[in-house]
Amino acid sequence: MTRLTSYLRPGMALPLRVAGSVLVLVGALLPWATFVLNDGPYPAKSTLQFFDAPFEVGGFRLHMALLGLAALVVTFAPVPGRGRILRGLGWGAVLVSAVNVLFIAYNGGGLGAVTVADMPAFGGLVALLGGLAVLAGAYAGGIEQPVHLPTGLNRFVAWAVLLVSFAGLLMMVAWTLTAGGQGGVANPYAGAQFLSFLGFAGGLLAALHGAGVLPWISRLSEDHRPFSIVVLLGCALALPFTGAGTDYWMTVAANIGVYAATAIGLNVVVGLAGMLDIGYVAFLGIGAFVAANLSGAVAAKVDITLPFPVAAVIAAVVAGMFGSVVGSPTLRVRGDYLAIVTLAFGEIFVRSAQNNIGGLTGGPNAIPGVPQVSMFGTGFSEPITLGGTKLPSGVLYYFLTVLLVALVMGMFANLKNSRIGRAWIAIREDEDVAKAMGISTGRIKILAFTVGATTAGLSGAVFAHKLGTVSYESFKFLESVTLISAVILGGMGSIPGAVLGASLLFVLPEKLREFSDYRLLLFGLALVLIMRFRPQGLVPDRHRRAELAGEDIEGRPLEETVSEQAHLPTAAPVLPGEARA
Amino acid sequence: MTTLLQQIANGIVLGAVIGLVALGYTMVYGIIQLINFAHGEVFMVGAYGGLATYTWILPHSMRGHWQITLPASMLGGVVVAVVVAVIMERFAYRPLRNAPRLAPLITALGVSVFLQEAVRLFYPDAKSARPFPAMFVGGGLRLPVPGGQVILPWIRVALVVIAILLAVALQMYVNRSRMGRAMRATAQDRDTARLMGIDPDRVIVLTFVLGAALAGVGGVLYGAYQNTINVDMGFQNGIFAFTAAVLGGIGSLRGAVIGAFAIGLIKTLGGQYLPGGTQYDYVWIFVVLILVLVFRPEGLFGEAEKVRA
Amino acid sequence: MRNQLVKSAAIVAGALLIAACGTNKTESGGAGGGTSCDTSKGTLVVGVVAPLSGSLSALGLGIKNSASLAVDQANEKCTVKGYKLAVQAEDDQANPQIGAQAATKLSSDPNTVGVIGTLNSSVAQNVQPVLKAKSIVQISPANTNPTLTRGQNFLTAPKRDFPNYFRVCATDDLQGPFAANYAVNKAGKKKVAIITDGKTYGDGLAGEFRKQLEKLGGTVVAQEKVGEKDTDFSGVIAKVKPSGPEFVFYGGEYPAAGPLSKQMKDAGMNIPLFGGDGIFDDKYIELGGREGDLATSVGAPTETLASAKAFVDAYKAKNYKESFSAYGAFSYDATNALLGSLGKTIGDGGKWGDDQRSKLLDNVGSYSATGATGEIKFDQYGDSTNKLLTVYQVTGGKWSAAESGTFEK
């Protein structure tokens, strides 16, 4: 980046920015596709529609127009961090136009689909150029230091800000889920529209980040932690009331919840204690099979039926016991070997389940017919009506999983800040030093496994009832890899990271079902790329970020901190070249 | 009695294949302390490379002669496997040389999934199993033993012979040649080796190349002796090979080979005699792995792992 | 730090973009091309739930393509008046929870008239309740587990839990005993070693085979299981050989059965291998099947059935990337059953709506026609009434019919 941007002079900044924003705006209104594609006209009336009803643009064209407008306004308005904001907006514009241009070109059989000699169907290319110009203008004008907005606000003002921002987050999530509509024969462009929306959302978020708004909100939420938690919980529970409240999304969201809870448990083992466990899904399976057997399903071996909360607790306990069993032999083993041992345990579980060990797992026939959880008078799979609004079926399972995730998150946060949590982090950083400091590493490591396994067992119980069937096929090695990826992608050791990781890994394959052939291919590629370019994950834990990405606790790059410290006036003379640590 | 001897023979054959793959694991781990999860997929890619050579490069007239098809397929398999391994090392592992241990491990998992899917999607008709040409038609070694015969088709004999030859050759190379000395030096202490004038990058690439070549040969021979290959064959054999390497002592070539034969025998004899039979033979290998890692992590021939700073 | 975020976002988006370039154009084939049919009332969707990615994708894609073929033909023949038909295939990744999500997605679209699927019985167990809640017809081309139609106690107290579920393939309790009858009565072989791959289909089939065999006085000298991805059978062959079986019955599919047969011969065990419709595929012979190996399959021999030949020719003409594999013909018949019943339900000027669903269910239940696999008709549990089975034998390098018959319990 720096090599390219060195060609830009500050004088070019203003014209570039203005030209860029105008081009983006114009591009949004031009037609994008020159003919009707095989599957139907491209959405947002972008086929051959030229400046027609400019205030009625919708879909991705609306996104482009908004980006262009915002860029234009920011170029002239006296906002701090202008360069950073424009950089974010520029990227957004580039991504949206690139996605749509590529998709139309591919579907239309070549660049002819986006360029026409006799009619100005250049919308895509114009917008792309505009986005690049905005980017260039942003760099030419100089990227400022990160903006720090004031944080010492009155409590109620802070609360108001938090309420608004979390409500915004909720709307963003709902829009992301419903972006592009539900793919299918009637809507073959869903995947592309979804990607385009992601580009738009990404650009918007980058702009907000550049303006310093996002770090400000996160600092505010840390200062007013209890309030933030309550509001977040409320927003999560409010999701079924938004546009994403359909049967389909409730099912997906409930599954995400189960996997997110499991991922948080895995985070204890991997993120906090630093032990790589790639057979972890076995604990989810153990919990699920125990719950299935105690649920009174016809195929269950055991003939007891217990109410759901009791069965869930038993499932968690049993899984926890297995966790200690797995944990003990691993005490003497480190690093890579640990990973292989856990892999071996995972495979032993799958094989045993497939062979119906002890008659408990149903083998290849699985244990079908696990009844729904039934409390407060309704089965959890029925649609209900709350306060006049009809909610989709499965919504009660969704609420249950939100509760589960909240519970697990709370437990995790408590543990992380406790002595045990600190002991885990110490073991992760350097086990021998930890032992020298008097931590009984053996017991603490087994505790990590036990806690993680218990969490997975609890999630497994919910999983069994939600899905209705428990089969060994749900717990294969690939699922373990997916769980690990969710933790890594989201950020090791960070709670929101695990939830984000699990969500991404579940939502993306659902939204991009057109690309289902390439799902695993992209998945493998993504793992490689993430470890190469962003090993600390998307929402990194502060310590991890410092460790892996060369930043200090505040999030500023180390070079900045060091140079800043070196310029501070000191009482005593400092030897040349000596900087404060 | 015949069954016992037959199972032993089967175990040795399986051990030969696993040994070829295990050598690659042990060498790479010895030099960069990385469990290359994707090595099993290199084995699989080698097999597909051999198949591709046989199907498209070899003229039809030569197909019946094993003296031509066997070496040609092996060569094809080796070339493909080596290319894949070099690319893997250069783009996935080298940038992470100094990263915390977790990163290359996850990357290896990612590469493994990627390779599997890439072959499944892009090799024609690879979504289900592909037939692999049998190099030798009919016949085999029939050894009379008390109670009957132990039957070993020629391809299996070839497999064992080639595996042993290659292992011995590798051992001689590592112990006697200059490059081999450089490899051992880099494995011992990379920075000092660099001070001594050895370029660690070249040595590491060479390690990957050798490991991949062996795995490629193993893949082609495995395909020939089973008459079928599919994209999943790398995962299971990879785990067996890794277990073998660990059992023998990771970092030790001799250990990898002996460990491999041990694993082969455990699988066949365990499947025959232990409770649970062939349903759980896979499981017994894992139990062995866990026991070894817990009670004697340095394996049979390895040295206790020095704690690295 | 932000550079990294931006860089990584760009890379992720770039990777997704590359995927966008590589889109498998699955829908565009069917939607294009003008037909002379009246399609004024809209589009109706035939859902397909099968594994389209992963290790079973060859079978799942065969199912999807065959369903597409049936839908294309129906569009040309104007089977459903006033509506265009389209296929929407959803990947279930052979994973029960993804299957449930796929089914929920399809069921939330009011234009979905029915679902063809699934391949795996464990996925079907999760899909059935979702589709039942919306009374959407489900016809499976490949589920063989009897509990899906007749409940957990299918032998003693059969009960139809899911009135919306049908299947066109034979269940294990037909094929297994039929094979046993042939083995003992026609081929005169009584000592058998059973090998299965541990999956629902293989174990179920082998179980039923064993029961009938023992009833007829045969003996099972050995029973072993191999791993589902195993291709090295030397261990299990050496274990089974000393007990001196006259043939081996294999419960599983051809990717493993072919090599097993060849390795049996290499090890000196030159006895036939007998399997179910899972091994009845040309690939089996390529992969190592030998002269004299046997397999059962549903329906009359393909050479004698004009409809089967027509299907094979039509499938080839469409140039799909994958072959129709084991369940393509069943999928084709299932789709035709659905579409034929749909045509009858809508009639000449009717309109599709939720109120038509129960009528459609009844019509499917009473559907009767001849398809690529023989007679397509359902009994009161939703099972196929096509009890006509054929034993095939590998002769001269190809499968040829040895005997046809029906199996009555």
Question: Tokens at residue B202, please?
Answer: 């070249």
pLDDT at position C17: 45
CB neighbours of B143 closer than 8 A, spacing ≥ 6? B149, B150, B151, B152
Q: What is the pLDDT of residue B232?
A: 85
Q: Can you give the pLDDT at residue B203? A: 92
**A186 inside 8 A of chain C by CB:** yes
- Residue B193 contacts residue B185 (beta carbons within 8 Å): yes
The tokens describing A303, both together, are: 């003939």
Fold for C172-300+389-406, please state it: Rossmann fold (3.40.50)
On the question of pLDDT at C117 being above 90, the answer is no
When scoring C231, C279, C282 by the number of chain B Cβ atoms within 10 A, the one with the most, hence best to mutate, is C231
How far apart are the C-alpha atoms of C43 and C37, rounded to whole Å? Answer: 12
Residue A567: per-residue pLDDT: 59
- The mean per-residue pLDDT over the stretch C131-138 comes to 90
pLDDT in tens, A228-243: 888 888 888 888 888 7
Q: Tell me if B114 and A525 make a contact (CB, 8 A cut-off).
A: yes
pLDDT at A3: 62
- Give the per-residue pLDDT at A554: 52
Cα separation, B142 vs B156, in Å, equals 12
pTM of the model: 0.84
Distances in Å between the Cα of A159 and the Cα atoms of A167, A221, A277, B110, B307 are 12, 9, 40, 43, 51
Per-residue pLDDT averaged across B92-118, rounded? 87
pLDDT for position A305? 81
Distance from CA of C266 to the nearest CA of A (A): 29
Contact A186, C45 (CB under 8 A): yes
Alpha helices in A239-306 (DSSP H): 247-267, 281-293
Q: How far apart are CA A242 and CA A170, in angstroms?
A: 9
Q: Measuring CA to CA, which residue among B218, B210, B40 is closest to residue B113? A: B40
A405/B101: higher pLDDT: A405
Q: Looking at beta carbons, which residues of chain C come within 8 Å of B134?
A: 262
Q: Subunits touching B (CB < 8 Å, at least 3 pairs)?
A: A, C
What value does the mean pLDDT take over residues A347-366? Answer: 81
Cβ contact C13–A195 (<8 Å)? yes
* A1 contacts C13? CB cut-off 8 A: no
Residue A474 touches chain C, beta carbons under 8 Å: yes
Note the pLDDT of residue A558.
60
Nearest to C6 among A107, A206, A556 (CB): A206
Round the average pLDDT of chain C to a whole number and report it: 83
Mean pLDDT within A505-530: 84
- Which residues are bridge partners to A551 per DSSP? A557
Q: What is the pLDDT of residue A375?
A: 74
Residue type, A538: L
Given CB atoms, is C258 within the 8 Å cutoff of chain B?
A: yes
Give the per-residue pLDDT at A117: 46
For C232-237, what is the mean pLDDT? 85
Report percent pLDDT > 70 for chain C.
Answer: 90
For residues C118 and A119, what is the distance between their CA atoms, to the nearest angstrom?
A: 48
Residues of chain C neighbouring A468 (CB-CB closer than 8 A):
100, 125-126, 129
Q: Looking at residue B207, what is its pLDDT?
A: 93
Task: List CB contacts (< 8 A) between C229 and chain B.
Answer: 230, 232-233, 235-236
* DSSP-derived 3-state class of residue C326: coil
Q: Which residue has the higher pLDDT, A472 or A368?
A: A472
- Report pLDDT digits (tens) over A551-571: 555 555 566 556 666 655 555
- C159-172 exposure pattern, b = at least 16 Cβ within 10 A, e = fewer: eebbbbbbbbbbbb
Residue matched to tokens 């939607």: C31
Interface contact C71, partner B, CB < 8 A: no
**What pLDDT digit, counting tens, does each position of A245-269 carry?**
778 888 888 888 999 999 999 988 8
CA-CA distances (angstroms) from residue B198 to A188, B188, B191?
A: 57, 13, 9
User: Any bridge partners for residue C384, and if so which?
Assistant: C378
The residue with greater pLDDT, A50 or A99, is A99
Give the tens place of pLDDT for each residue, B146-181: 777 788 888 888 889 999 999 999 999 998 999 898
Inter-chain residue contact C239 with B231, CB threshold 8 Å: no
* pLDDT band (50, 70, 90) for residue A460: very high
ipTM of the complex model: 0.86
Q: C101 with C75: CB under 8 angstroms? A: no
Q: How far apart are CA A8 and CA A138, in angstroms?
A: 10
Q: Which residues of A touch B105 (CB under 8 A)?
A: 276, 336, 339
Residue B185: what residue type? A
- Which chain B residues have a beta carbon less than 8 Å from that of C255? 128-129, 228, 230
Mean pLDDT, rounded, for C99-104: 88
Q: Domain residue spans in chain C?
A: 37-169+327-378, 172-300+389-406
Residue C20: what pLDDT?
Answer: 39
Closest residue in A to B243 (Cα–Cα): A340
Q: Check residue C228 and report its DSSP letter.
A: T
Kindly state whether C125 is in contact with chain A, defined as any CB-CB distance less than 8 angstroms.
yes
Residue A544 has what pLDDT?
Answer: 58
User: Do the Cβ atoms of C108 and A246 come within 8 Å?
Assistant: yes
Q: Is the pLDDT of residue C32 over 50?
A: no
A329-355 confidence digits (pLDDT tens): 777 777 777 888 888 889 889 888 887
The answer to whether residue B86 scores a pLDDT higher than 80 is yes
Mean pLDDT over residues A467-474, rounded? 84
Substitution target in A281, A336, A433, A548 with the highest count of B β-carbons within 10 Å is: A336
Q: Does B272 touch chain C (CB under 8 A)?
A: yes
What is the pLDDT at residue A120? Answer: 58
Q: Is the CB of A480 inside 8 Å of chain C's CB atoms? A: no
Answer whether C43 touches A (CB < 8 Å).
Answer: yes
**The pLDDT value given to residue A513:** 78
pLDDT at A304: 80
CA distance A405 to A401: 6
B14 and C232 within 8 Å at the Cβ level: the answer is yes
CA-to-CA distance for A539 and A495, rounded, in angstroms? 9
* Cβ-defined contact of B271 to C235 (cutoff 8 Å): yes
Tell me whether strands B140-145 and B148-153 are parallel, antiparallel or unpaired. Answer: antiparallel
Q: How far is C244 from chain B (nearest CA, A)?
A: 12
Instruction: Answer yes or no: are the C-beta atoms of C354 and C309 closer than 8 Å.
Output: no
CB–CB contact A524 B103 (8 Å): no
Query: Scanning every residue of chain C, which has its alpha carbon at the shortest distance from the alpha carbon of A97?
Result: C17
Using the beta-carbon criterion (under 8 Å), do A519 and C32 form an inter-chain contact? no
Say which DSSP state B56 is in.
I
Q: State how far the Cα of A487 lies from the Cα of A273, in Å rounded to an integer.
A: 13
pLDDT at residue C23, rounded to an integer: 32
Is A354 at the interface with chain C, CB within 8 A? yes
Rounded Cα distance, B1 and A322, in Å: 40
What are the phi and psi torsion angles at A269 (to 5°)? -75, -50
CATH for the stretch C37-169+327-378: 3.40.50.2300
CB B105 within 8 A of CB A336: yes
Does any CB of chain C come closer than 8 Å to the CB of residue A526? yes
A99 touches chain B (CB under 8 A): no
pLDDT tens digits along B111-143: 999 999 999 888 887 777 788 877 776 666 777
Cβ-count burial of A377 within 10 angstroms (0-12 exposed, 13-18 middle, 19+ buried)? exposed
Given CB atoms, is C19 within the 8 Å cutoff of chain A?
yes
> What confidence score (pLDDT) does residue A579 get?
46
- Cα–Cα nearest to B113, from A520, A122, A182, C353: A520
User: Do the strands C368-371 and C374-377 form a parallel or antiparallel pair, or are they unpaired?
Assistant: antiparallel
Which stretch of A24-38, B156-170, B235-249, B281-295 has the lowest confidence by average pLDDT? A24-38
Chain C residues in contact with B236 by the CB 8 A cut-off are: 227, 229-230
Point out the residue among A84, A99, A364 whose CB comes nearest to the CB of C198. Answer: A364
H/E stretch holding A219: helix A213-223
Q: Which residues of B touch A330 (CB under 8 A)?
A: 294
Mean pLDDT score, A299-308 = 78
Indicate if the pLDDT at residue A183 is higher than 70.
no
Distance (Å, whole) CA A258 – CA B231: 31
Angstroms from C317 CA to nearest CA on chain A? 21
> Which residue of A266, A277, A345, A348 is the best one to mutate when testing the B interface, meaning the one whose CB has the most B CBs within 10 A?
A348
Residue B114 to residue A532, Cβ atoms within 8 A: no
User: If you average pLDDT over residues B279-299, what whole number do you get?
Assistant: 81
Residue B306: the pLDDT is: 44
> At residue B220, does pLDDT exceed 70?
yes
- Cα-based distances in Å from B227 to B15, B22, B223, C232, C315: 18, 22, 5, 10, 29
pLDDT for position A55: 66
Residues C287, B228: C-beta atoms closer than 8 Å: yes
pLDDT tens for residues B194-206?
998 899 899 999 9
| Dihedral angle of Cα C163, C167, C168, C173, to the nearest 10 degrees | -110
CB pairs under 8 A between B and C: 99
Closest-approach residue (CA) in chain B for C231 = B226
